[in-house]
Structure 1
Amino acid sequence: MKFTTKTLAVFAVVALTTLLLSWNKFAFPITGNNAANKLAIHHWNDNENLSDQELSALEANADWYSYTDKTNKKRIPAAEDVLVQRIPGDNSHILIMAFYSKESFKESSIVIGDDENQIELKDNGIGDDKKAGDGIYTAKIYADVADFRKQAVKMALEQKKTGASYKFVNRMITADADAAEPFNAAKFDAFQPVSIAATGAVLNSELIDSVRRNCIFITDLNVVEDPTRTWNPCTQTGVVNGPWTFGEIFRQLASTTPQNIATDAELSDFIKIWLTNYAVRRIINGDTVNPRPLVLDKILNPWIAKSEAAGGPTGQLDMKFAPFKLTAILNRFDLRDRFAGIPAGECRFTFCLINADCTDKENFTMIVEYSIPKPNKCDSLHSWADQWFNLKNYDLGTPAYNAALQNITDQFSKSGSNRNKTNQSSLSTVRTNDRALTLGDTAEFREFRLNAITGNFIETTCSQIPADKFNGRGVGNPDVATMVLYVNQERKNIIKDNYTVPDTFNNVPFVAGAAHILAEPVGLTNLWFWDGTEQRNTPYFIKNTTARHVFSLNTCTGCHAGELQTHYTHVDPVFFGTETSLSGFLSGRAGAGGAIDFDFIPENDSFMMRDAALRPASNPTLRMFNDILRRARDLKDFSITTCTTPFAIRNQLMYQPTSMVH
């Protein structure tokens, strides 16, 4: 980790705002007897849309429908400060206090903890809380005062030796002014409130580097091309049904139960039903999703031809020729959110498409996302986090490391991992980012979830992004006015990154069926991002610069383009034998396609972005990112604190789930 003095000085001046068409030759048989399954396949192959009644029946039983409903709950925002105070005559308890400004939170109490142990902090002026409505929420908690003091003093002394520190606000890096006085022992001894918000913010460079290398975003070729767990369809080497292969991961998704693992024929049908989505015109939430015509020529036809040439049944896909390469395995413990029903966060596999000639990669990437099936209990969450954290103790890519990693991935990737969901799978979403399947170079983003009736993928709306027509980028019209009205009305929640873009807004279908990058993703001008117009005092102007940025950042097309100087992909497609490269947002170093790091210091471990809309015009805001570092710090902070201790409670009070899906 290379945070230089110059880098930290830059923090002080950064204006951080906290805020298939009918296809005869390869028509495939239906291996199941599910009528709804046949109905869906019939309509897709006949290039028709499901009727409203049929689609409603599918949606009513789809996992993604209830998932979206869960995320509409408002989360408690992160506390702006956390303080502790000794209680005279009591050496077994302390007061812990969370501070919120009136603009950020106004309720009378806060409940944190897990399903077994909960703590209520009150701002009602009764008992331990001194004054009602002052934004200071108080609770008395158990703590050995002497042990707590000793630990806090030790952490503060270590912190002061390192000099300036930093923190993440939402996902941006900023200098941490509170780190100058991480813990005031004299005030604590005098029974005065003392902030512990920054206590322990010091980072051991060697430790945090090993965490982010081994435990967060794993791209090492000794892992993602491990010949005992992956398969190379070009050289026909590896293990064709290895646990990290595209074929085995999708076989587990297609299986109805652990006792009924999908056959080769059933897996082939499952994959073809999924890919056929790209070959037909569909309307999703009022948004027309047009065909990507090259899905047949680039994926399905060559795959089936190779399978048949090898002696396979007519029209059946053989996984030995699956044209997908694993590029990364991701730990997204940082996405944990009990209000969204994912207290242990997510984990993900990323793949890219390999061309039919096996000579190069294609511009098609896919991410398979799982909601981790762990209960909202502190011990359980710590056990899960520690499994990832302990990967730092192995040499990356060794047999011992890969075995430990597989032990983790098996817990969410197999059928039976979540018996309450479709196909008993922990799958949340499959997202694709595609420039390869069209005659042009337009990047398109789609999302898929398992449908409870068919057990197959159903294409759904894209999370956190309105349809393309709502993006003005300098042009005002009624659609743009609708988007701007939404951002302006929701600006407080958007600034706090505590919102969900609704399917419908102002009685108009709002969320996109598919999303597109329609201009340059990187560079100085003509970038693709989300905005209205710059005409003030009109219905097309987003009033708050931070709200505009956060809203655009949380969309797939803003995040993968101009808002972050991302050249279409955060995890770049690569051919076998090449380790993927990452975007600047993830890595802290400028990524592909001529992305610009606006501090022009490539070695300082931070990627600086100028506001894509050049706001404010007099001096556009600069923002710094290194999201893998943020995720590593979060995992480390969680793993090294014991459940129910003051610092564990502090971490929970100051933790902010993100609305960003990336």
Structure 2
Amino acid sequence: MRIFNTLPARASFSLLMLMSTAAWAADRPRAAGNGSPTAQQQRSNRQESNQRSAPSNGGRQPASQQKNSVNIERELMITDLSVVEDPILTNPDSGQFGVWSFKYLIEQMSGSNDPSLFALSLFTHGDEQTINGFDVPPRPAVQEKIIDPWLQRGGGTLDLKFAPVKLLAIVNRIDLRQVEGSEVLSAGEGRFVFGVLDAEGKPLAPTGGDAVGGMTIILEYSLPAQSSKDLQRWAEDWHELGKYKPGTPAYNLRLAVLTKRFTDRGRGIGRPNRSALNQIRTNDIALATPWELREWTIDEITGFLKPHSVAETPDFLTFNNTSDLADLLNANATSIRNASFTLPADLMAGSAPAGPYFDLRPDLPFELFEANFAAAQATVDFGVMDGTFLNDLLAFFQSAPVANPIEGTDVVVNIPWQTPTGVDPDVRHLFAVNTCSGCHRDETATEFLHVGFPESARGQNLFSDSMGSQAFLSAFLTGGDPVVDPINPDLQHEFNDLQRRQGDLEELLTSGPRQHHRTNRRH
């Protein structure tokens, strides 16, 4: 058993005993119809949970806490080490109690398939494939860096208890809810963010740059809801967590019961494998360069994961800086401004590269171009970048895109979303910031990861050791200096997305569900 010095032994034992006796309130009989408990059952479950879970002081915060004041760290972005390193809930050897372990989560979404083979269907990065009509450059290093070490640790089998991942965060994305009149399509998403480890348990290194880790995996689930009552219950139950201290049985058990309501088998009625999983995303620069985001969903026929197009993001090298993109933005300027625009499905790319890119602009001084091309070709020769991708990048540079320098180097540049003809600067930015590559890089001045390993985890064996401090969060999430627009430097943009989500949940708690809440946000 992996033991972290995050909970006193007595608290850990008490939590296990509480789990053994609580009978998992979320699994109690449901009322017929929408699958939600009756109001009487809800009251009974909450009363029992309070009686069984709360110590004498209940782990509660001062009564002066405002009723609808949302605590970001406890209700929205949960990274406290006493939660994400809980020695029981994150332990794959804990069986039914290890509900935050990668092993448990994969088992719950795999349906009738072998969970190990199901997990393997996530790591298809090395395959040559066409997704939604777009060729995706293979990243064959996935075999050497992830699959082979995993097999070795499992004695030749892909044993899920040896999955090379570390839980970084549990995230409440109720802000992504979809409501149309009296119809509630979804209460948003609940997410688990895992960092990927190498054969020695260290954060998997990037192929370039100084990030502590070069790859994350995000499991993104729907919060099932069919009515305003269901939606309001989700809001209240996430908010209830704010009353308790992370790491106490009162907090961790409540959060475990809550997450089981969207992670467990059977929560996605009518969906593949009856799982509430919406998609799994990977962010990486560990398998190849540049940074890239990919997406998987559960195949409704096979029940395995299959590659899926990336949300709200066109193919970067064939659609960026084209008149087609300009026409699309101008024709949809109003919906882009009010955040209701949805990219046509046939334009969504198979992957989302985000840079940095080798600077191969044809108007560079000859010596610099030759040096940069030689570096790019060497990267291909060493298997760190796909050769076809390099050819496509060379072709893209013929369109004379704006390329922004990166301090300290002449070799690579950032390339934002842009058009060759006039588009309103705000429309361009609002479109770009909702793409995978824009949100994770140029538009928000992010290196790519919004949630990642902390500096204290660098070089640590996280199979056995603590990360030492909570996960790194980007300035896009937490707020920071204004970001200069990558195309129109006279403009600046301010971000504090966790504060935005905080206000959204507070409004939902105070005023109840709006008659209309449909967002095109995906990231």
Could you tell me the TM-score, scaled by structure 2's length? 0.70
Aligned residue in 2 for 1:358? 201
What's the CA shift string for 1:560-594, capped at 9, x where partnerless? 001001111000135442321111111114xxxxx
Aligned residue in 2 for 1:289? 136
Aligned residue in 2 for 1:324? 165
Change (3 A) 1:490 1:513: same
Q: 1:528, CA displacement in angstroms?
A: 3.3
Aligned residue in 1 for 2:264? 414
Change (3 A) 1:557 1:660: same
Look up the SS of the partner of 2:220 in the other structure.
Answer: strand
Aligned residue in 2 for 1:272? 120
Q: RMSD of aligned C-alpha atoms?
A: 2.6
Pairwise mapping of residues 97-136 of structure 1 onto structure 2 (< 5 A)?
none
**Structure 2 CA distance, aligned partners of 1:426 and 1:388?**
18
Pairwise mapping of residues 583-594 of structure 1 onto structure 2 (< 5 A)?
583-589=474-480
Structure of larger gyration radius: 1
**Structure 2 CA distance, aligned partners of 1:392 and 1:632?**
12
1:230 equivalenced with 2:90 (yes/no): yes
CA contact (8 A) 2:165 2:194 kept: yes
Aligned residue in 2 for 1:154? none
**What is the identity, as a one-letter code, of the residue corresponding to 1:421?**
R
Identify which of structures 1 and 2 has the higher relative contact order when contacts are C-alpha pairs closer than 8 Å and 6+ apart: 2
Of the candidates 344, 349, 358, which is equivalent to residue 187 of structure 2?
344
Aligned residue in 2 for 1:514? 351
Of the candidates 316, 329, 336, which is equivalent to residue 494 of structure 1?
336
1:572 equivalenced with 2:420 (yes/no): no
Tell me whether 341-350 or 551-560 shows the greater mean CA deviation: 341-350
CA contact (8 A) 1:487 1:542 kept: no
Which is helix-richer, 1 or 2?
A: 2
Pairwise mapping of residues 170-569 of structure 1 onto structure 2 (< 5 A)?
211-231=71-91, 242-256=98-112, 266-275=114-123, 277-308=124-155, 315-339=156-180, 342-361=185-204, 362-377=213-228, 379-438=229-288, 441-472=289-320, 480-504=322-346, 510-519=347-356, 526-532=413-419, 540-569=420-449
Unaligned runs of 5+ in 1: 1-114, 116-203, 257-261, 309-314, 505-509, 533-539, 590-596, 598-607, 642-647
CA contact (8 A) 1:523 1:565 kept: no
Aligned residue in 2 for 1:50? none
**Structure 1 CA distance, aligned partners of 2:246 and 2:503?**
19
Aligned residue in 1 for 2:31? none
Q: 1:208, CA displacement in angstroms?
A: 7.5
**Structure 2 CA distance, aligned partners of 1:559 and 1:627?**
11
**Structure 1 CA distance, aligned partners of 2:405 and 2:101?**
32
**Structure 2 CA distance, aligned partners of 1:205 and 1:561?**
37
Look up the SS of the partner of 2:442 in the other structure.
Answer: coil
**What is the identity, as a one-letter code, of the residue corresponding to 1:529?**
P
**What is the identity, as a one-letter code, of the residue corresponding to 2:333?**
R
Q: 1:241, CA displacement in angstroms?
A: 6.8
Change (3 A) 1:373 1:556: same
Aligned residue in 1 for 2:365? none
**Structure 1 CA distance, aligned partners of 2:69 and 2:201?**
35
Q: 1:627, CA displacement in angstroms?
A: 1.0
**Structure 2 CA distance, aligned partners of 1:460 and 1:359?**
29
CA contact (8 A) 1:470 1:483 kept: no
CA contact (8 A) 1:338 1:376 kept: no
**Structure 1 CA distance, aligned partners of 2:413 and 2:122?**
35
Change (3 A) 1:341 1:557: farther
Q: 1:299, CA displacement in angstroms?
A: 0.8
Q: 1:364, CA displacement in angstroms?
A: 0.8
**Structure 2 CA distance, aligned partners of 1:657 and 1:528?**
30
Aligned residue in 1 for 2:491? 621
- Between the aligned residues of both structures, percent identity stands at 32
CA contact (8 A) 1:304 1:318 kept: yes
Q: 1:373, CA displacement in angstroms?
A: 1.2
Aligned residue in 2 for 1:79? none
Change (3 A) 1:626 1:303: same
**Structure 2 CA distance, aligned partners of 1:205 and 1:452?**
46
Change (3 A) 1:323 1:364: same
**Structure 1 CA distance, aligned partners of 2:491 and 2:323?**
24
Pairwise mapping of residues 42-61 of structure 1 onto structure 2 (< 5 A)?
none
Q: 1:239, CA displacement in angstroms?
A: 6.5
**Structure 2 CA distance, aligned partners of 1:414 and 1:502?**
32
**Structure 1 CA distance, aligned partners of 2:316 and 2:255?**
39
Aligned residue in 1 for 2:16? none
Pairwise mapping of residues 625-636 of structure 1 onto structure 2 (< 5 A)?
625-636=495-506
Look up the SS of the partner of 2:452 in the other structure.
Answer: coil
What's the CA shift string for 1:634-660, capped at 9, x where partnerless? 21222234xxxxxx4xx726x754312
Aligned residue in 2 for 1:660? 521
CA contact (8 A) 1:465 1:556 kept: yes
**Structure 2 CA distance, aligned partners of 1:271 and 1:652?**
38
Look up the SS of the partner of 2:237 in the other structure.
Answer: helix
Unaligned runs of 5+ in 2: 1-33, 35-63, 205-212, 358-403
**Structure 2 CA distance, aligned partners of 1:572 and 1:418?**
29
Look up the SS of the partner of 2:494 in the other structure.
Answer: strand
**What is the identity, as a one-letter code, of the residue corresponding to 1:296?**
Q
Q: 1:306, CA displacement in angstroms?
A: 1.5
Change (3 A) 1:437 1:208: farther
Look up the SS of the partner of 2:186 in the other structure.
Answer: coil
**Structure 2 CA distance, aligned partners of 1:352 and 1:342?**
30
CA contact (8 A) 1:208 1:633 kept: no
Q: 1:272, CA displacement in angstroms?
A: 1.6
Change (3 A) 1:633 1:517: same
